[in-house]
């Protein structure tokens, strides 16, 4: 099990993120009974919109919870709806009702 976790934040968000991260790691330790270490770095760009990127399992697992990534995921999810709004229903698509 990975015991070293790295959290990347924007430099201007570090003060805000550290208490929340401390609470999260304490809760994780209580619920999982696994002792782990946490490192906070300021690797996110200052131009980023905010959020965190969490790395674990020797940097093999990455959870990107930045606003930029969430907007990208929303854009992908909304493309079919946007296409229907702009061009109407496509009669050749059988899975659309």
pLDDT in tens, 11-33: 999 999 989 988 988 998 899 88
Q: pLDDT tens digits for 71-95?
A: 999 999 999 899 889 998 888 877 7
Tokens representing 66 are 């930045």
**Which strands sit side by side in the sheet containing 51-56, from one edge to the other?**
37-41, 4-8, 51-56, 61-66
Provide the residue ranges of all domains of the chain, joining segments of one domain with +: 4-64
- Percent of the chain at pLDDT exceeding 70: 96
Phi, psi torsion values for 5, nearest 5 degrees: -120, 135
Mean local confidence (pLDDT), 23-46? 88
Question: Alpha-carbon distance 91 to 97, whole Å?
Answer: 10
Q: What is the largest CA-CA distance in the chain?
A: 56
Which pLDDT score is estimated for 97?
Answer: 54
pLDDT at 59: 85
């Amino acid at each position: 099990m990975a015991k070293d976790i790295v959290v990347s934040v924007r430099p201007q968000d570090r003060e805000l993120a550290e208490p929340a991260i401390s609470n999260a790691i304490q809760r994780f330790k209580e619920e999982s009974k696994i002792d782990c270490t946490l490192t906070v770095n300021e690797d996110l760009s200052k131009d980023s919109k905010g959020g965190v990127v969490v790395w674990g399992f020797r940097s093999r697992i990455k959870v990107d919870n930045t606003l930029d990534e969430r907007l990208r995921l929303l854009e992908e999810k909304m493309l079919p709806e946007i296409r229907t709004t702009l061009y109407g229903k496509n009669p050749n698509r059988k899975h659309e009702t």
